[in-house]
Every structure is written in C-alpha cells, then in structure tokens.
C-alpha cells in the first residue's frame, strides 16, 4: 500500500510545466506564489483574463521569478485555449479561474455559465486532445467549492459523499463544472482531481466579499451591510491553508479522487462581524464599540444558504493536511494586511467597484 502511494507520488512529481488558471485572483495568487517559491524546478504559467477580480498587483513579489510567466487570456475562447495548449505543452493544470461572487451570479447568471461551465469544458477539451498519448500521467486539478452541496440545517457536515444540491447560479455553475470534470475522467480517462473548499479569508481578498468589504467600510466609517438577520453560518479557512491543501492534493491525490477542504471553524455572520469590529477598534485606536455602530441589517440575499460546514477528515487522514491558524489570529493578520496596503485597496475600490457597490447596496 505504502509502495503504491510512493510510486504514484513519483509519477505526479514529474509534472514540471503547470498551467494555473485564475492566478491573478484571490486564492489563485496564493497558489501561484506557493508553487513559484516552493518548486523552483517547475515552470508556472498563470493564465488570467484580468476581470475586475484579477489583479497583477497580487503577484508583484513573484512577477520577475525565472520559473514564472503571466499570460493574459480568456478560458471561454475555445480557439485561443486550443492554440495555447498546442504551443505550451503543459504537464498539468490547476484550474481556479471562475466568476466567484454569489451576488453577481444573481444579477448576471450567464456570465457564470460562460466562464465556469464553458471555460472549464474548453480546458478539458484541450487537455484531452493534447494529452491523448499520456492521459494517465498528466493531471487536471479542478478547484471547486462547498456550495455545490447546498445548505445544512443545524446539524451535520458536508462529506465527499454528500449529494450535490446547488441553490445559486454560482453554485449551479460550479456543480456543473465538477460534473464535467468527472465525466471527462470516466469517459475519456483524463487524470482528474477535485477539491471542494469552504469560505477562504486573508490577504488580496476582493472587497465584494463579506470580510474585506466590512474591513474597508469600517476603515472609511461606512455602514456594514449584514444580510437578513446575520444568522447564516460559514466555515472560514485561512487562504494560505487552502493553498497548502491544493499543493498536497495536487501532488498526492489518486486520479479521480475528491477532497473536502475546510477550517472546522463555523461562524454566524453577525458574530464574525462583532469580532471584526472589536479587532478594527483596537487596530484603529477607536473606543470599544465604535465600529459596531456601523452594523446595518439589509435585505437578505435571494436563496441564501443557511449553513456550510466541511468535514475534512478524509484529507486529514489520507494526506495529513490540517488547518494551521486559529481564526482570531488569522482575522487579526488579515486586518493588519488591509490597514497597511492602502495602495492595493485603493486600486481595487476605485473605478468600476463604485458602480458595483451602488447597484448592489443602495436601497437594499
Ligand atoms: P476570484 O474571483 O478572486 O478570482 C478569479 C480569477 O479568475 C480572477 O483573477 C479573474 O480575472 C479570473 N478569471 C475570471 N474569468 C476568467 C476567464 N474567463 N478567463 C480567465 N481568467 C478568468 O476567485 P477566488 O475567490 O480566488 O476563487 C478561485 C477559485 O476557487 C474559484 O474557482 C472559486 O469557485 C473557488 N473557491 C473559492 C472560495 C472562496 O472562498 N473564495 C472557496 C472555495 C472555492
Ligand atoms: O463557501 C465557499 C464560497 O464562499 C466560495 O465558493 C465563493 O466563491 C465565495 O464568494 C464564498 O461565498 P459566500 O457567499 O459564502 O461569501 P460572501 O463573502 O459573499 O458572503 C459570506 C456571508 O456573508 C454570506 O452568508 C452572505 C453574507 N454577506 C455577504 C456580503 C457580501 C453579508 O451579510 N453582507 C454582505 O455585504
């Protein structure tokens, strides 16, 4: 059993030229940084369309590394993807490019179908075509979400066996892309792995998502919009722990396997916001209770999933991964990062962010 695992590991470790899609986004930038820094003998190619969510400032510290290259391109463009694979001869793909925000999927569902479903199928087609002589040894790693499992009541957790039950256009598009990845494994013999992760937090998180949006609003003395009564529950994971999980799964998982990744760290939104307000008051030198006054309950998200909780026992037992950081410590580090990166925050909140924010939150 052990020998089998080791020889499998060796074959995957020969995968030297890796395409990372969506590497200019939040999680993708942490994955690119980790692979570029930890694997100097790999060639890492980051393909990203640079949508509103993609930002090359996220990768300033690695942009000149000799084992790293950025290519601007759209995964929805099938002809481009085909030519790109023909030229580059990748050994493996780690696929993160996606439209990722649930609220945007409610207003523009087709963008999610195009990028998350069509884009993924375009990549699968190119992998199938250009890896046809070595399907077993090349690897297609699809990074997915726990939202494909739907919502939980007060009890229970999502395991790898939980049936898919997506509720938002975002989660429906991610579920569909997961199904396509499995279909290409089963039908064409592509070597695939999928991981489904819970909510990430940390540096370079675009401030349309709850934690960075609340930090930015508190910093600017603006209302903190809490959907409904703030009773929805999310399971938060430090983004660098997710990047480490992706590293471990990419290198060690068996072909066709699935792993859940999560923080064992459930927080009701309103409790999380109270903790964040306390940290922000301390860091900004404000009187205790100042930030809390900004909390504003607003109209709930349509189809809002009540609770997510990940059971990551399989990943912990089989591949030895575990989250490294306590939430309070991670949140404090995150706040410190946002308070000392004004330039980054300005670059992502000026321009089109302003009109997005108006449309999403005015009269909500
Ligand atoms: P993000 O929105 O921050 O980044 C997405 C990146 O994909 C951006 O750089 C964007 O420019 C790029 N992109 C979008 N459309 C593209 C296209 N058509 N062609 C090429 N590039 C394109 O997203 P994220 O939060 O970093 O999430 C990354 C992946 O992880 C997604 O697949 C998401 O579903 C999944 N995920 C996210 C979380 C989370 O908490 N953020 C949790 C679990 C899984
Ligand atoms: O669970 C993994 C998913 O986590 C990822 O697949 C998604 O890409 C990622 O965006 C995230 O989805 P959520 O919808 O859970 O994250 P978001 O930060 O948008 O919202 C977290 C919770 O906070 C959710 O219950 C909605 C609520 N919320 C969100 C915003 C933006 C608010 O109360 N107010 C807000 O302004």
Mean pLDDT of 100-129: 98
Kindly report the average pLDDT of the chain as a whole number: 95
Taking CA atoms only, the protein residue closest to ligand 2 atom 16 is 209
Name the percent of the chain lying above pLDDT 70: 96
Q: Which residue has the higher pLDDT, 72 or 8?
A: 72
Contacts of 59 (CB under 8 A, 6+ apart): 23, 24, 29, 32, 33, 46, 68, 70
Taking CA atoms only, the protein residue closest to ligand 1 atom 10 is 54
**What pLDDT does residue 2 have?**
36
User: How sure is the predictor about 364, in pLDDT bands with cuts at 50, 70 and 90?
Assistant: confident
CATH number of the domain within which 134 lies: 3.40.50.720
Does any ligand 2 atom lie closer than 6 A to the CB of residue 138? no
User: How sure is the predictor about 155, in pLDDT bands with cuts at 50, 70 and 90?
Assistant: very high
Q: Which ligand is nearest to the CA of 97?
A: 1
Contacts of 71 (CB under 8 A, 6+ apart): 45, 46, 47, 48, 84
352 falls within a domain: no
Range of the domain at 188: 6-202+236-264+303-325
188 falls within a domain: yes
20 falls within a domain: yes
Give the count of domains, the chain: 1
| Structure tokens, 71 | 């290519």
pTM confidence score: 0.97
354 falls within a domain: no
253 falls within a domain: yes
Q: Which residues are catalytic?
A: 146-147, 170
- Pocket test of ligand 1: the residue of 23, 24, 26 to mutate, having most ligand atoms within 8 Å of its CB, is 26
Q: Is the pLDDT of residue 11 over 90?
A: no
260 falls within a domain: yes
Taking CA atoms only, the protein residue closest to ligand 1 atom 33 is 100
| Structure tokens, 222 | 């603006």
User: How sure is the predictor about 274, in pLDDT bands with cuts at 50, 70 and 90?
Assistant: very high
Q: Is the pLDDT of residue 218 over 50?
A: yes
User: How sure is the predictor about 12, in pLDDT bands with cuts at 50, 70 and 90?
Assistant: low
231 falls within a domain: no
- At 285-343, the pLDDT tens digits run 999 999 999 999 999 999 999 999 999 999 999 999 999 999 999 999 999 999 999 99
159 falls within a domain: yes
Question: Got the DSSP string for 183-248?
Answer: HHHHHH---EEEEEE-EEESTT--TTSHHHHHHHHHHTT--EEEETTS--EEEEEEHHHHHHHHHH
Ligand 2 centre distance from Cα of residue 256 (Å): 29
Does any ligand 1 atom lie closer than 6 A to the CB of residue 28? yes
């Amino acid at each position: 059993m052990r020998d089998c695992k080791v020889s499998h590991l060796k074959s995957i470790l020969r995968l030297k030229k890796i395409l990372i899609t969506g590497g200019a986004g939040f999680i993708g930038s942490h994955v690119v940084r980790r692979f570029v820094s930890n694997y100097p003998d790999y060639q890492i190619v980051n393909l990203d369309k640079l949508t509103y969510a993609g930002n090359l400032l996220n990768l300033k510290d690695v942009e000149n590394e000799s084992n790293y290259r950025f290519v601007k391109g759209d995964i929805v463009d099938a002809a481009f993807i085909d030519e790109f694979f023909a030229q580059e001869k990748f050994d493996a793909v780690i696929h993160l490019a996606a439209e990722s925000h649930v609220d945007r999927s409610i207003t523009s569902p087709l963008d999610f179908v195009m990028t998350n479903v069509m884009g993924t199928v375009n990549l699968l087609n190119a992998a199938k075509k250009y890896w046809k002589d070595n399907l077993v040894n090349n690897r297609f790693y699809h990074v997915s979400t726990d939202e494909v499992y739907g919502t939980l009541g007060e009890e229970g957790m999502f395991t790898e066996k939980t049936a898919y039950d997506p509720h938002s256009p975002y989660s429906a598009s991610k579920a569909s892309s997961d199904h396509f990845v499995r279909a290409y494994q089963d039908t064409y013999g592509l070597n695939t792995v999928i991981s489904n992760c819970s909510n990430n937090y940390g540096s370079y998180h675009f401030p349309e998502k709850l934690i960075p949006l609340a930090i930015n609003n508190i910093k600017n003395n603006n209302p903190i919009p809490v959907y409904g009564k703030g009773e929805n529950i999310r399971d938060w994971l430090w983004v660098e722990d997710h990047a480490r999980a992706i590293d471990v799964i990419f290198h060690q998982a068996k072909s066709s396997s699935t792993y859940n990744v999560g923080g064992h760290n459930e927080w009701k939104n309103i409790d999380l916001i109270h903790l964040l307000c306390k940290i922000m008051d301390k860091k900004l030198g404000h009187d205790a209770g100042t930030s809390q006054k900004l909390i504003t309950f607003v109209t709930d998200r349509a189809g809002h999933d009540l609770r997510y909780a990940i059971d990551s026992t399989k990943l912990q037992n089989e591949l030895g991964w575990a989250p490294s950081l306590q939430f309070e410590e991670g949140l404090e580090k995150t706040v410190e990062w946002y308070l000392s990166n004004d330039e980054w925050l300005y670059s992502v909140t000026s321009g089109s962010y302003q009109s997005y924010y108006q449309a999403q939150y005015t009269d909500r």
